[in-house]
């Protein structure tokens, strides 16, 4: 069965993107090749729309929107640590049928898959290998998954050379071009009309294959009237020779070209303004303006807004207004697809709930770098590998952070999150930590020790609500740290949740009288606290008594 019938777009090859890590991706444009000369910033017309010849990526990766054909999920190799588990959850593109799947979604059986080590996320899938299809990329470094292939029987005529693919030809041409460009500045300006120099140049080019013969195996036409120099005046064709030779002029080399200044200022296209009125098919526009429609849309929920976006194009643009999406709830989703992430960024919510989802570290970093106005972030129940993205993401407007019941988090990892960034200087305002503006922090169920609590008091001084419920290491010394005279939370703490902390005793209850602004104190499920001691604290309390609607729950009316 052909691959085109297995799903929509199964047989279509996905265009790959830059890896942004190889030597070609990190360098700048040369400014001399014909693609650079066509760019507007180098004074060209900008018609070719091609990147510099020296910046062509040698290891292109799959696009961000690529998903598995079988399960419809993106690559999740960042959520695991083992090599076998990472390979099973990574996306692999077959070079034969162009299908993108997770190796873990395939039942490989006795069939084998062949990995191409030159291009990332590229292999020959077990289905195509079992059916005996020929690969489109031959001659590269291959890695067999299960068993080595049997060597082909040698024919009396000798082994047949496999036909190179266009992608491999492009890679080989790029490597030869880099070798030639690196060889040109190191060559002295000796005379080139001697036969010995010509023979050595011809030999060196015949080993690497001439640039003119590398494209589709065609040989460039020979000139009839002496040498024909190219645009730079350094390469020339000689009649009677078997291929192109490098010839140098007798005089000194010309001085290098001065860098050309940018002639055209390149700016992004202006965003088209949203219409102020609703155009109708028949007659004039609707009398209600856009502001009135937005007042109506504010009374609708997310489901109703999505229905309104299907009515017309004008309503679809109006319904993307961030005032209509103050909070987005994606909790308990099995996986987050790229269209879902793009929809979140386009709506720019102030509160985002990703609790108990399979969000990866790469997805979370992509979101946080594009949601600069995010004020509330809920990540309870996620893995620590994903939550560790908070350590390198800017959070200038964050006011609420929920990290309850994070899986596999250790006290040392939590301290790395509380510490300021390593590149922050002591005189800067961000030297107090990443959570300096957070007012409410929820850390229920984590292994929080007194050392982490000291860092919390130092680098998060504006906390008014703190949830430390069910933290096994929180005891009487922790309460003493929270209410010490040097603690900044002593004057700012309003809500404190210590439910389920079994190390708390009756000796820590008088310490809570040091917090004058305390309005809610939850001590439920604390085994070593007696109800009588809690009742005495409620009667005396900080300025003004508490009321106890439940046992060991102290509330005060503001």
Specify the domain boundaries for CATH 3.80.10.10 within the chain.
328-421+434-555
| CB 359 within 8 Å of CB 76 | no
| Beta strands 100-101 and 92-94, pairing class | antiparallel
Residues 173, 127: Cα–Cα separation, whole Å: 32
CA distances (Å), origin 258, targets 55, 180, 189, 229: 21, 22, 21, 22
> In this predicted model, what pLDDT tens digit does every residue of 9-28 receive, in sequence order?
345 556 788 888 888 999 99
> In this predicted model, what pLDDT tens digit does every residue of 287-298 receive, in sequence order?
899 999 999 999
pLDDT of 423 reads 56
Residue 293, both tokens:
């429609």
| CB 386 within 8 Å of CB 360 | yes
Residue ranges of the chain whose pLDDT lies below 70:
1-14, 108-111, 135-167, 178, 180-272, 421-433, 558
| CB 497 within 8 Å of CB 444 | yes
Residues 25, 338: Cα–Cα separation, whole Å: 24
What DSSP letter does each residue of 170-194 carry, written as one string?
Answer: HHHHHHHHHHHHHHHHHS----S-S
- Tell me the three state secondary structure of residue 245: strand
Residues 51, 170: Cα–Cα separation, whole Å: 14
The CATH label, of 1.10.630.10, 1.20.1280.50, 3.50.50.60, 3.40.50.450, for the domain at 286-324 is: 1.20.1280.50
Tell me how long the chain is.
558
CATH code for residues 66-134: 3.30.40.10
Residue 120 sits at φ, ψ, to 5 deg, of -70, 150
SS3 letters across 257-275: CCCCCCCCCCCCCCCCCCC
Q: Print burial letters for 306-315: b (CB count within 10 Å at least 16), e (below 16).
A: eebeeeeebb
Q: Print burial letters for 264-300: b (CB count within 10 Å at least 16), e (below 16).
A: eeeeeeeeeeeeeebeeeeeeeeeeebeebeeebeee
Residues 303, 301: Cα–Cα separation, whole Å: 6
Rg of the chain on CA atoms, in Å = 33
Specify the domain boundaries for CATH 3.30.40.10 within the chain.
66-134
Class of domain 328-421+434-555: alpha beta
Specify the domain boundaries for CATH 1.20.1280.50 within the chain.
286-324
pLDDT of 493 reads 95
């Amino acid at each position: 069965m052909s691959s085109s019938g297995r799903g929509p777009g199964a047989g279509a090859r996905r265009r790959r993107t830059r890896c942004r890590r190889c030597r070609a991706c990190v360098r700048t444009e040369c400014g001399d090749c014909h693609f650079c000369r066509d760019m507007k910033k180098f004074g060209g017309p900008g018609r070719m729309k091609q990147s510099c010849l020296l910046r062509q990526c040698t290891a292109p990766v799959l696009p961000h929107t690529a998903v598995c054909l079988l399960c419809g999920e993106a690559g999740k190799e960042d959520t695991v640590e083992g090599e076998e588990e990472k390979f099973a959850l990574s996306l692999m593109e077959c070079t034969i049928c162009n299908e993108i799947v997770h190796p873990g979604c395939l039942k490989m059986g006795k069939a084998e898959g062949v990995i191409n080590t030159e291009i990332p996320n590229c292999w020959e899938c077990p289905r195509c290998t079992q059916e005996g299809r020929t690969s489109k990329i031959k001659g590269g470094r291959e890695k067999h998954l299960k068993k080595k292939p049997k060597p082909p029987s040698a024919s009396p005529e000798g082994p047949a050379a496999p036909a190179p693919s266009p992608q491999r030809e492009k890679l080989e041409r790029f490597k030869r071009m880099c070798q030639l460009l690196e060889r040109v500045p190191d060559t002295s300006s000796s005379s080139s009309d001697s036969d010995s120099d010509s023979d050595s140049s011809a030999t060196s080019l015949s080993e690497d294959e001439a640039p003119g013969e590398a494209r589709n195996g065609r040989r460039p036409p020979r000139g009839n009237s002496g040498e024909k120099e190219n645009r730079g005046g350094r390469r020339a064709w000689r009649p009677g020779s078997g291929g192109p030779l490098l010839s140098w002029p007798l005089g000194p080399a010309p001085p290098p070209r001065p860098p050309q200044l940018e002639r055209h200022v390149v700016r992004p296209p202006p965003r088209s303004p949203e219409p102020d009125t609703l155009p109708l098919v028949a007659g004039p526009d609707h009398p209600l303006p856009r502001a009135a429609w937005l007042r109506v849309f504010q009374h609708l929920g997310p489901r109703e807004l999505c229905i309104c976006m299907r009515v017309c194009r004008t309503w679809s643009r109006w319904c993307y207004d961030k005032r209509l999406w103050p909070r987005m709830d994606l909790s308990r989703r099995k996986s987050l697809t790229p269209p879902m992430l793009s929809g979140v960024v386009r709506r720019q919510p102030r509160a985002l709930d990703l609790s108990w989802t399979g969000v990866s570290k790469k997805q979370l970093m992509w979101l946080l770098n594009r949601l600069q106005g995010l004020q509330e972030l809920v990540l309870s129940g996620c893995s620590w590998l994903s939550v560790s993205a908070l350590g390198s993401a800017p959070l200038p407007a964050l006011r609420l952070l929920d990290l309850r019941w994070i899986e596999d988090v250790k006290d040392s990892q939590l301290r790395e999150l509380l510490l300021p960034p390593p590149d922050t200087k002591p005189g800067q305002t961000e030297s107090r930590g990443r959570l300096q503006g957070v007012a409410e922090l929820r850390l229920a169920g984590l292994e929080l020790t007194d050392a982490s609590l000291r860092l919390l008091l130092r680098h998060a001084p504006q906390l008014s609500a703190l949830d430390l419920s069910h933290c096994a290491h929180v005891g009487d010394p922790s309460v003493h740290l929270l209410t010490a005279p040097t603690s900044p939370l002593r004057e700012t703490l309003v809500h404190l949740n210590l439910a389920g902390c079994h190390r708390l005793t009756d000796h820590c209850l008088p310490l809570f009288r040091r917090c004058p602004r305390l309005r809610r104190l939850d001590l439920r499920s604390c085994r070593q606290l007696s109800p009588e001691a809690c009742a005495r604290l409620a009667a005396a309390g900080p300025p003004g008594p508490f009321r106890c609607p439940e046992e060991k729950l102290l509330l005060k009316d503001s």
